[in-house]
Amino acid sequence: MNLISNEKVPIFFVESGKVEMVEKVYKGDEDWLEILTPEQFQVARKKGTEMAFTGRYHDCHEDGVYRCVCCDTDLFDSKTKFDSGTGWPSFWEPVAMENMVHVEDRSLFMVRTEVLCARCDAHLGHVFDDGPPPTGKRYCMNSASLKLVKRP
């Protein structure tokens, strides 16, 4: 069941280069299960994690924009992707901070910063302070939460 909401959030669109106010996406599990694979649902909606070195994008070098698998929000440009050696796709910068939310995650007996899609609250992965210049950040994402839209 799609849940109706009048809530709007600012989202940056790479193609237009502009921030637009768009409706927040709320859906029930049944609706997500209709559009996501079981792995995408487990990772993006239930805060799971794919196994290292198994994800579709961990060793991908194609040019494009990585979007949220749930709502198509632009998240990362392939130009900011780097090989972190962790087995997950890693980026040193998102396309826009408006497009994601950072929350404290105290699961697994540690404190980390979880990264969620700002439009639909999909679990994307975690961000760490051990990335390369210029930001020093490592956005360690799950391939199952992303979809690459290649540039022509």
DSSP for residue 45: I
Confidence (pLDDT) at 152: 83
Sign of the alpha-carbon torsion through 36, 147, 113, 11: negative
Confidence (pLDDT) at 110: 79
Is 68 an annotated catalytic residue? no
By the 10 Å C-beta count (0-12 exposed, 13-18 middle, 19+ buried), 77 is classed as: middle
Which amino acid does the sequence have at 99? N
Confidence (pLDDT) at 73: 98
For 139, the 3-state DSSP assignment is strand
Is the pTM here over 0.85, yes or no? yes
Question: What is the set of domains in the chain, with CATH numbers?
Answer: 8-150 (2.170.150.20)
Residue pointed to by tokens 């029930």: 28
For 20, the 3-state DSSP assignment is strand
Sign of the alpha-carbon torsion through 38, 123, 9, 146: negative
pLDDT per residue of the chain (152 residues) written in tens, 0 to 9: 555 567 999 999 999 999 999 999 999 999 999 999 999 999 999 999 999 999 999 999 999 999 999 999 999 999 999 999 999 999 999 999 999 999 988 887 778 899 999 999 999 999 999 999 999 999 999 999 999 999 98
CA–CA distance, 25 with 126 (Å, rounded to integer):
21
Phi/psi of residue 147, each to 5°? -145, 125
- Give how far Cα 144 sits from Cα of 47, 89, 91, 99, 134, Å: 11, 10, 15, 18, 27
Point out the catalytic residue in the list 68, 71, 120, 140.
140
Confidence (pLDDT) at 4: 54
Confidence (pLDDT) at 20: 97
Tens of pLDDT, residue by residue over 82-108, are 999 999 999 999 999 999 999 988 887
